[in-house]
Amino acid sequence: MGTYRTDDLHRGHPLRPFLAELDRIRGVRRIDLGPLTGGETAEQLAAIYGKTGRDLPPGFAEEVFARAEGNPFFTEELACATTNGAHLMPSDVGGFALSDTLRDLLLIKVEQLPEATQRMLRLLSAALPPVDHRFLLLVTGTTDDELNELIRPAFQAHILVPGEGPTSYRFRHALLREAVHNELLPGEHSALHRRYAELLEAEPSLVAAEMREVELAHHWYSARDYPRAYDAALKAAGTADARYAYAEEHQMLERALDLFDQVPEPAMDFARLLYKTACAAHLAGDPHRALFLTDKALKRVDPQEDPELAALLHHLRSRDHHVLGRSDGMADIWAALDLVTGESCPQVRVQITNSASFIKMLTSDDIDAALRFAEETALLADKIDSDLYRIAAAITKGTVLAGQVSLGTHEEGLAILRQAIIDALGYGDPGIIGRGYINLCSALETLDRHAEGVQVARAGLAELTRRGVRLRVAESMLWTNMAESLIALGQWDEAVVALNSSLDVDPPGIHGSTTHEYLADLALLRGDPETARTELALGARTPSRNFEHQYALPGIRREIEKAAWLTRSIADARTAFQAFLDKPQFLGDERYAWRVLTAMAMAEADHAETTRAAARSGASRIDTASAAVIAALAERAARLPAITPSQAAAAAQVAAELARWRGVAGATEWATASELAGREGVHAYQAAYIGFRAAEAAAANGERETAAELLRTAVRPVATLPAGPLCQEIQALARRARLDISDCMPAASASSGRGGPDSGTPLGLTARVHLDEDRERARVQHPGQARGRRARGGGGGRTPAAGFRGRVSVTGGRIRR
């Protein structure tokens, strides 16, 4: 094996012909390592400082990534530069300078070039990349031939490379440009940027239309002409907003904020500029910054003098509180509604009623109110002739109806959602397009239509990509919703890819936490408790939105699973379950509630088996709390609708787990559950687990042929999954009961060894010992640890082949506000 750095290979490098010859040899494989992603850069920085990514100052990882461009060495050098190599956590971003070591390393090749070429590079470094040949001609004042001769040495040394345009140039790396630019003298710096700005104002066609105002803002600011830089920044922000380039808009408005005090007569008052900047920050996926700016603006606005702006600020604060999981945001919604009416400010009120409708939809506490607010939104949209809010109201209504499966309105809701997406595609706003696809994907997952959910998520991502926009929240939700459906289908490797992609967009707030919680779910199913604990800890760093049942109920399920199978504390599991019982039950919560009930039933059944085994050894204690929990569980299950295939299977599973808790084989109950688990739409792992338990119960009754067939059925859903612990339990049962299922067991599982006590127990599986073979039945004699080593795919990688990063959840997709 050999390695080399591609950025060191200038055109005359002797390694180039050797590599060309190697490429022609059979058996030689070349692997090109791309740069780190933004998320991976944040992970590297966190590791350098011995922290987690969420401990980094806001914007710090983004600035390092923009400057290092994913180069791990440059990333570390920049990180060390923030604290003089002390590896202490920086307090803020702070515009830190290059270290002397890194600057010298970057400039070695530059200083070997002819002085005239070096001068040209300094001129080029002042422009935003890429720079067109014609623009550079005007700046340098040279002819074509003269400029080509100046550029050629830089190309040969691999300092300059072709830009995106056919006649443009850029530095090989952003830090190389930065190092060269830092070599400009102070007076030279200002004069050069002023020259760029004046040339660009005289000849706008020198740069792409969408970049003209951005470049002008950059050059006038660097030339210290602040009024012109301020005006250009506002124009650039408007242009970016029209292109849905929210991150760029946010950057330009932040520049305008910085310049506000330097402008004699600013075109916008400061409070409204704060609001616009906060809106851009929110849309760019930075709710922390948006909330800071919103609070700052609210202190400057008198609601009596400017009720519209005050209402807009309360509305925006509601949305940021909601994204960050701090509250449902309705307090600010009510405050905003009190400030404006449909008659006085319909353009403002329609935004607020739209948010009120989807908050009520998501909190599930008043579905009728959600529909009323959606209806008011539609009426206001007609009044102001707004297609955007007509579509938004339709999405809310469709989502509400699609979620009421027990009322039979789901097909009507799906039809409304599909039409809303068609209308959104015609309207063209990426935000409303993303929301439509997210909610349809989630609605399909509620109905166990997993394959359709995957198709919808992929279509939504393709639309956003085709439109050239980056919406961190929308993309993250589409990736994670897709992953949930893929996991339900048993396509775990594909789900890993989706979850990696979700992390790569650096999702903010609850959306990043949710991705980590998915990772924990999958790790637990794979028998990897260490990873499960790590990911649960990362997910817990953001408030869990307990006011939304789509987050609260899965969170309770995870607490039960963590207590039962990681920390081995049935008391903690019961505490978590009590939190579930204390919550009101709403229509539409079934897909989440059944998973809580099955998790607790499995935990209590496992605990009962452990207690009985201890009793046989004389070490048991009477557990009076268990009966009360089981009674409450059975009562809640009796009144919870079970409509979809996975819900019906879950209801039957709960009944069977209660039989296991009582200490009976429960063959009839498990047979019923197994029959229901065979229906289309039941999650792959759920079906396999139920089949395993049904086979176990049949074997306990001496029904060997039935047990063998049930066990074969259980193997099929997980035969291609990295669900090693469950496969090993299935094999152990087959050996104990003398059932031949070798024809359908995966080879990898068949050859798996036994792990130690730290390898974890898969969900609902207590470890077993071999029984008297003459009885040919499978009973639990005493507790132990799960057999089978961790089903980890390796270490540290980001692909299924090199490890895994994914999350399993059988609770369905998430809904977008």
Which of 376, 474, 476 lies closest to 430, judged by CA? Answer: 474
Give one DSSP letter per residue of 261-325, joined into a string: GG-SS-SS-HHHHHHHHHHHHHHTT-HHHHHHHHHHHHTT--TTT-HHHHHHHHHHHHHHHHHTT
Q: What is the DSSP string of 500-526?
A: HHHHHT---HHHHHHHHHHHHHHHHHT
Nearest to residue 657, comparing CAs of 710, 724, 605, 617? 605
* pLDDT number for residue 808: 29
Among 323, 386, 322, 295, residue whose Cα is nearest residue 349: 386
CB neighbour list of residue 546: distance below 8 Å, 6 or more residues apart? 552, 555
Name every residue whose Cβ is closer than 8 Å to that of residue 246 and which is 6 or more positions away in sequence: 240, 280, 283, 284, 285, 469, 471
For 68-73, what is the mean pLDDT? 88
Judged against a pLDDT cut of 70, whether residue 772 lies above it is answered with no
Q: Average pLDDT of 721-740?
A: 81
pLDDT single digits (tens) 640-668: 999 999 999 999 999 999 999 999 889 99
790 Cβ neighbours under 8 A, 6+ residues apart: 526, 527, 528, 724, 755, 759, 760
Region 707-715: mean pLDDT is 86
**Residue boundaries of the structural domains of the chain:** 38-96, 527-791
The predicted structure's pLDDT at residue 629: 96
pLDDT value at residue 496: 81
Block residue for tokens 């060495």: 73
Kindly tell me if the per-residue pLDDT of 268 is higher than 60.
yes
DSSP 131-168: EEHHHHHHHHT--HHHHHHHHHHHHHTTSEEE-SSTTE
pLDDT for 11 equals 66
Peptide bond into 114 cis (omega under 30): no
Read off the pLDDT band of 745 (50, 70, 90): low
Mean pLDDT to the nearest integer, 165-173: 90
Q: What is the CATH number of domain 527-791?
A: 1.25.40
Query: Residue 418 — φ and ψ, nearest 5°?
Result: -65, -40
Within 10 angstroms of residue 348's Cβ, the number of other Cβ atoms is: 21
The answer to whether residue 807 scores a pLDDT higher than 80 is no
Which residues on neighbouring strands pair with residue 170, listed in sequence order?
161
Q: What is the mean pLDDT of residues 744-761?
A: 45
Question: What confidence tens digit (pLDDT) does each residue in 208-259 have?
Answer: 888 999 999 999 999 999 999 999 999 999 999 998 889 999 999 999 999 9
d(CA 132, CA 162) in angstroms, rounded, equals 10
Q: How confident is the model at residue 19 (pLDDT cuts 50, 70, 90)?
A: confident
Max CA distance (Å), the chain:
97
Q: How confident is the model at residue 543 (pLDDT cuts 50, 70, 90)?
A: low
Give the CA-trace dihedral at 258, 262, 268, 274, to 10 degrees: 20
* Buried/exposed code over 697-720 (b: 16+ C-beta within 10 A; e: otherwise): bbbbeebbebbbbbbbbbbebbbe
Q: Which two tokens stand for residue 685?
A: 């792992």
The residue-averaged pLDDT of 693-719 equals: 86
Q: Please report which residue ranges of 617-703 form alpha helices under DSSP H.
A: 624-638, 645-662, 667-677, 684-700
Q: Where are the beta strands (DSSP E) in 378-461?
A: none
Per-range mean pLDDT, top range of 293-307, 486-500, 785-799: 293-307
Cα torsion angle, 223, 226, 231, 233, sign: positive
The string of pLDDT tens digits covering residues 598-617 is 999 999 999 999 888 887 76
Of the chain, the percentage scoring pLDDT greater than 70 comes to 85
Tokens representing residue 258 in the block: 């910085």
Return the number of other C-beta atoms located less than 10 Å from residue 803's C-beta.
Answer: 15
